[in-house]
Amino acid sequence: SPLAALTVSGRQFERDSYTNITDGIIKRMSRKLHQQKGHPLYLIKERIKSYFYKKYVGRTGNPVFSVYDNQDPIVTTYQNFDSLLVPQNHVSRLKSDSYYLNSQYMLRAHTTAHQTDLISSGLDNFLIIGDVYRRDTVDSTHYPVFHQCDAVRLQTQHELFPEEWGLSVFEKRPDRRTEDKQAEHTVDAVRILSFQLKSTLQDLAKVLFGSDVEYRWVEAYFPFTHPSWELEIKHNGEWLELLGCGIMEHTIVKKAGAGDRIGWAFGLGLERVAMRVYDIPDIRLFWSTDSAFLKQFEVDDPFTPIKYEPVSVYPRCINDISFWIPPEGDFSQNDFFDVVRSVGGDMIEEVSLVDQFVHPQKKLTSHCYRITYRHMERTLTKTEVNEIHEEIGRRATEMLGVTVRN
Ligand code: PHE
């Protein structure tokens, strides 16, 4: 019954108007692909860890970064948004973009959600790796669950600048915030930190993709860093956004109890990296339990070169569905995508809006979606696809109040 409490990972949550998590998503939470030895996402995680362990070492050669890859994906909206200064009315908070257990709890939309807590616990250098959840379109490069690696590095005045240089990290009195820096920081500190951040990430890109990788830096905006950048790499002739990064907002660092430090941070998508490193053509393959897929990645050394060999390619089947969307109410495309996904599961390759119009007399809006069905492991029959297609129509009618036209 819809009023019964929701149980996720053995914890109970009261439902409210925000609740939109689906059973399919809850099932994905237990997979922990990044912790599965021999999984491509695990191997990419190990490559990144190994790079950081070697790059930043302490007095005795010990790694200074510690790794957190087992944080609970259920977080509060405070952790995911407020602790990172995401404004109250920011679009990313919409119900249509994230999975909510209720108005207080959600599945993290980025691993940055744990940043403040880990700093508060006393850490200065750490990586956070985990599964993240976003309601999104369905296609070969988008899936509602994917994986990220975040990093934070905090440094003191004394660690950055030798005494005799006479340089300081912080302005004596807060200065003006400009395009290039926050009010608290000096130009010198931001210059040295952004150099450290960018060269660390350029070298990481070379370690992951080979030293001839083409990359470029693009200015970006995040509520939790300033200035901010994105690193793009060339892949099949196209620029692909790989990661976001920047100088951490001092307000966040200070509130977490590390006000004597300046920090840089970044967040990077593991699927993006793995798809390019291993030539994996479809993001849904990461969820495959087929041994023909998994056994290609059974190696002890994460740096073993591997190129994915397609197991087999099965034909796709395309079916359109058109409906009137309810005249009042808040129909969102992502609600429909969720219906499609929860009925069709991994048989859905892609859903796209191909046509929409408003009926001049009835003043009703019609949407036509094209659904591409294809299974990664077998050929789908026409009857099987038709049954699912009809069930999607019935479920959309029942749950979203649409009126199917064909
Ligand atoms: N959390 C950001 C994202 O998901 C990435 C990011 C992390 C950017 C840390 C800056 C600093 O896109």
Q: What is the CA(203)–ligand 1 centre distance, in A?
A: 19
Q: Which SS3 state, helix, strand or coil, does residue 365 take? A: strand
- Residue 159, φ and ψ in degrees, nearest 5: -75, -30
Distance CA 75, CA 108 (A): 6
How many other CB atoms are there within 10 angstroms of residue 122's CB atom? 9
For residues 350-368, give the mean pLDDT. 93
For the Cβ of 150 lying below 6 angstroms from any atom of ligand 1, the answer is yes
Q: Is the pLDDT of residue 318 over 90?
A: yes
Q: Give CA separation, 334 vs 73, 89, 98, in Å.
A: 21, 19, 10
**pLDDT at 161 exceeding the cut of 70:** yes
User: Average pLDDT, whole number, for the chain?
Assistant: 94
Cα–Cα dist 392/389, whole Å: 5
Residue nearest atom 2 of ligand 1, based on CA coordinates? 267
Nearest atom, ligand 1, residue 109 CA: 4
Lowest mean pLDDT of 20-34, 210-224, 324-338, name the range: 324-338
Give the pLDDT of residue 388.
97
Q: What is the pTM of this model?
A: 0.83
With left for phi above 0 and alpha for psi between -120 and 50, is residue 44 left, alpha or beta? alpha
DSSP states along 208-259 = HH-TT--EEEEEEEETTEEEEEEEEEEETTEEEEEEEEEEEPHHHHHHTT-T
Q: What is the pLDDT of residue 292?
A: 77
- Bridge partners (DSSP) of residue 266 are 151, 245
Of the candidates 108, 183, 118, the residue with the CA atom closest to the CA atom of residue 146: 108
- Residues 60, 177: contact at Cβ < 8 Å? no
Mean pLDDT of 214-224: 98
CA 267 – ligand 1 centroid, Å: 4
Bridge partners of 154, per DSSP, are 263
The yes-or-no verdict on residue 266 having pLDDT over 50 is: yes
pLDDT at site 179: 97
The residue-averaged pLDDT of 226-233 equals 98
Mean pLDDT, residues 315-321 taken together: 91
Cβ of 79 below 6 Å from ligand 1: no
Q: Which of 340, 318, 357 is nearest to 400 (CA)?
A: 340
Residue 103, both tokens: 């108005």
Pairing status of strand 66-68 against strand 125-133: parallel
Give residue-wise pLDDT tens across range 9-54: 999 999 999 999 999 999 999 999 999 999 999 999 999 999 999 9
Assess whether the C-beta atom of 267 lies below 6 angstroms from ligand 1.
yes
Q: Where are the alpha helices (DSSP H) in 264-362?
A: 270-278, 291-294, 333-344
Report the pLDDT averaged over residues 160-164: 93
Q: Is the pLDDT of residue 405 over 50?
A: yes
- Check whether 2 has a pLDDT greater than 70: no
Q: Which atom of ligand 1 is nearest to the CA of 112?
A: 1
Q: What is the pLDDT of residues 94-149, one digit of tens each?
A: 999 999 999 999 999 999 999 999 999 999 999 999 999 999 888 888 999 999 99
Mutate to test the pocket of ligand 1, among 92, 110, 111 (most ligand atoms within 8 A of CB): 110
Q: In this predicted model, what pLDDT tens digit does every residue of 389-402 receive, in sequence order?
A: 999 999 999 999 99
Check pocket membership of 245 for ligand 1, CB cut-off 6 A: yes
Task: Please name which of 310, 298, 307, 324 lies closest in space to residue 374, comparing C-alpha atoms.
Answer: 310
Predicted confidence band of residue 313 (pLDDT cuts 50, 70, 90): low
Q: How far is the CA of 244 from the centre of ligand 1 (A)?
A: 5
Task: Decide whether any atom of ligand 1 lies within 6 Å of the 225 Cβ.
Answer: yes
Pairing of strands 145-156, 317-324: unpaired
**Residue whose entry in the numeric block shows the structure tokens 């009126």:** 403
| Element (DSSP H or E) covering residue 189 | helix 187-209
Query: How does residue 1 score in pLDDT terms, banded at 50, 70 and 90?
Result: very low
What percentage of the chain exceeds 70 in pLDDT? 98
Do 15 and 6 contact (CB within 8 A), yes or no? yes
Return the higher-pLDDT residue of 340 and 346. 340
Provide the ipTM. Answer: 0.98
Q: Is 144 in the pocket of ligand 1 (CB under 6 A)?
A: no
* Nearest alpha carbon to residue 151 among 53, 85, 259, 227: 53
Q: How far apart are CA 302 and CA 55, in angstroms?
A: 17
Q: What percent of the chain has pLDDT over 90?
A: 88
**Whose C-alpha lies nearest to ligand 1, atom 7?**
267
Distance 369 CA to ligand 1 centre (A): 32
Whether residue 352 contacts residue 370, with contact meaning beta carbons closer than 8 Å, is answered with: yes
Q: Which of 111, 150, 201 has most ligand 1 atoms within 8 Å of its beta carbon, as the pocket-test mutant?
A: 150
Residues forming beta bridges with residue 339, ordered by sequence position: none
DSSP three-state, residue 22: coil
Q: What is the pLDDT of residue 44?
A: 98
Task: For strands 11-13 and 261-269, give the pairing.
Answer: unpaired
Of the candidate ranges 12-21, 311-320, 357-366, the one whose mean pLDDT is the lowest: 311-320
Q: Does the CB atom of residue 373 touch ligand 1 within 6 A?
A: no
Is 128 a pocket residue for ligand 1 (Cβ < 6 Å)? Answer: no
Report CA(201)–ligand 1 centroid distance (Å).
14
Q: Is the pLDDT of residue 186 over 80?
A: yes
CA nearest neighbour of 262 among 250, 246, 244, 277 = 250
Tokens (6 digits) for 104: 């207080």
Check residue 3 and give its pLDDT. Answer: 64
Instruction: Specify the pLDDT at position 282.
Output: 92
Question: Do residues 377 and 311 touch, judged by C-beta distance below 8 A?
Answer: yes
- Ligand 1: which of 90, 97, 112 to mutate, judged by most atoms within 8 Å of the beta carbon? 112
Q: By alpha-carbon position, which residue is closest to atom 6 of ligand 1? A: 267
Ligand 1 atom closest to Cα of 111? Answer: 1
